[in-house]
Amino acid sequence: CEAEEPGSSSKDSLSGPTIDIFGYLQPQYDYFFTDGDQDNTFRFKRARVGVRGEVLDDFSYYFMLETSPFIGSTGDAYLMDAFITYNADNWARISLGSFKQPFSLDVSTPCNQLKTIERSVVADQLISPQRDFGVAVFGGNKYNRLNYSVALMNGRGLGVKDDNVKKDITGRATYKIIRNLTVGASFRYGYPIPNNNEDDRTTYGAEFLLELNRFAVQGEYIYDEGAYFAGAGGGCGATPIALGKERDGAYILASYDVSEKFQPVFKYEYFDADINIKDNLGYSERMTLGFNYFVNDKVRFQVNYLANIETVVNVNNDALLTQVQVRF
């Protein structure tokens, strides 16, 4: 019920209009194992607050501000996800407004339910702009084997009007093969460059999620080619990396519930900013080792050690991130 996904099924549709305040705070302390001075800082990751609810006739709304000064262009509060949803049918929930591109399991996971503090580098770098204005159709729920989402979007990201004639199309479908195993695929085709109706971009993704009692493992591969626009930024404040003509990346993430409260996690990932160049500086690997500690449903501690591995020239850039999250 905490899903940020615009087409998520409404909790209940009994009575009249509803209005719920919701949000979460993610204060963080980061320590960087760099050469020389070891930078460290208190900060916020995300700090979100909003309202959502239902109005009659299967219409609902979602209205959320990002107020963390470290996401977005200016540091001030701004409108992030905001959409109106018409719940025509379980197979056709239509949302209009601003929301995340329906691409990849990692991007689709609500920001307050990620198992590691950072999303995968490949998702942050290639599924950009992560949020956009558009219209989307969502189908299926957690009891259905098939779920799908398709969106027609500006392709420019938040805060600006589209200034080319073309729209971008993005879609994702997942299928529960057996009770424990879900596989999925994503697709995007668009025109990412402002004032340019010629240069296109194509992106594919494949994913799986295996849940065995207390053990869970998920993985994704994303391939992307064609034009791109660095000004669109990376996901959730990530700094965009310069890309070649073709680029890809993948991650695998495993977690084990030692108890209801304590959940160690491990993630291995790589990102290649230019497939056609061997030993390029845009290639990186990262291992994330950490744990989640759930005080209860609303309070989570997250500690992650990020071991960044450079294969060409080694750089001291490991980091220890610690976060407390309260949801309301």
Interface residues with its own copies (CB under 8 A) are 17, 19, 21, 23, 25, 27, 29, 37-44, 47, 49, 51, 53, 55-57, 59, 61, 63, 65, 67-70, 72-79, 82-84, 96-98, 133-135, 153-154, 158-165, 167, 197, 295-296, 298-299, 324, 326-328
Nearer to its own copies, 96 or 287 (CB): 96
Nearer to its own copies, 78 or 305 (CB): 78
- Rounded CA gap, 254 and 107, in Å? 17
Nearer to its own copies, 15 or 213 (CB): 15
* Distance in Å, CB of 37 to its own copies, minimum: 5
Nearer to its own copies, 114 or 222 (CB): 114
* Distance in Å, CB of 151 to its own copies, minimum: 10
* Distance in Å, CB of 39 to its own copies, minimum: 6
CB 190 within 8 A of CB 198: no
* Distance in Å, CB of 190 to its own copies, minimum: 13
Nearer to its own copies, 129 or 205 (CB): 129
* Distance in Å, CB of 50 to its own copies, minimum: 8
Cβ-based neighbours of 116, under 8 Å, separated by 6 or more: 253, 265, 267, 288, 290, 302, 304
Nearer to its own copies, 128 or 218 (CB): 128
- Rounded CA gap, 211 and 55, in Å? 36
Q: 181-189 long-range contacts, Cβ below 8 Å, gap at least 24?
A: 181/208, 181/209, 181/210, 181/211, 182/208, 182/209, 183/207, 183/208, 183/209, 184/105, 184/208, 184/209, 186/102, 186/103, 186/104, 186/222, 187/103, 188/101, 188/103, 188/127
SS3 86: strand
- Amino acid of residue 264: P
Sign of the CA dihedral with 324 first, then 100, 190, and 147 last: positive
* Distance in Å, CB of 154 to its own copies, minimum: 5
- Rounded CA gap, 45 and 71, in Å? 8
